Amino acid sequence: MNKPTPWWAPVIALLAGVAVGRLVWGLAGSDAVRRLTAPWAVALLLALGAVALAVAGFRVRRYVRGRVPRVNPLRAARLVLVAKACALAGPLLGGWYAVLGWAAATEWISPASHGRVWQDAASAAAAIMLGVAGLAAEHWCQLPPADDGPAGDVSGPAPETEDLTGQRGEC
């Protein structure tokens, strides 16, 4: 069974994004970093990804609770992998865009920098939203613990399966 992402992993990813952004700011110079900005499309795509991930995770949650009759198990497993990746990539990107916004905010006197600050702030917020959606979807995709009986033995006949040739047999 895959362990869920611990609470501190996204925090470290966020700090790593801030550290990399600050390192680039220090090495490239403040003028170069101030010119970098995330377009509005980045914030929109990150927010749409967060919503899509949350909707897909909520469908699996409904299945786990018995409210949906069937969910493709391969799709649910892939969703867990995507959720774990987003739970770490979202805060990493959020830290990066926060530093870009901070760099643009150092020129707040210039009206041209206002748009860059809001674009980077929106991108940072959407990236954090993606991380939260990833953590939620990962949590929702956990199966409840199985009740295997006192000794862990599964009683009853072995379930029948179908192999690649179409032949039926026991597990």
pLDDT tens by residue, 26-47: 888 767 777 788 899 999 999 9
Q: Tell me the HSE value of 51 on the side-chain side, using a 13 A CA sphere.
A: 6
- pLDDT number for residue 162: 53
Instruction: Give the tens place of pLDDT for each residue, 3-31.
Output: 889 999 999 999 999 999 999 988 887 67
- The answer to whether position 160 is within a domain reads no
Query: Which domain range does residue 106 map to?
Result: 13-144
Calpha distance 103→31 (Å, rounded)? 9
With cut-offs at 50, 70 and 90, classify the pLDDT of residue 171. Answer: very low
- The answer to whether position 2 is within a domain reads no
- The answer to whether position 4 is within a domain reads no
Domain count, the chain: 1
pTM of the predicted model, to two decimals?
A: 0.80
Q: Where are the alpha helices (DSSP H) in the chain?
A: 8-28, 30-35, 40-64, 73-105, 111-140
116-124 long-range contacts, CB within 8 A, separation 24+: 116/34, 116/37, 119/37, 119/38, 119/39, 119/40, 119/43, 120/37, 120/38, 121/97, 122/38, 122/40, 122/43, 123/38, 123/42, 123/43, 123/46, 123/93, 123/97, 124/93, 124/94, 124/95, 124/97, 124/98
- The answer to whether position 152 is within a domain reads no
Do 104 and 124 meet the contact criterion of CB atoms below 8 Å apart? no
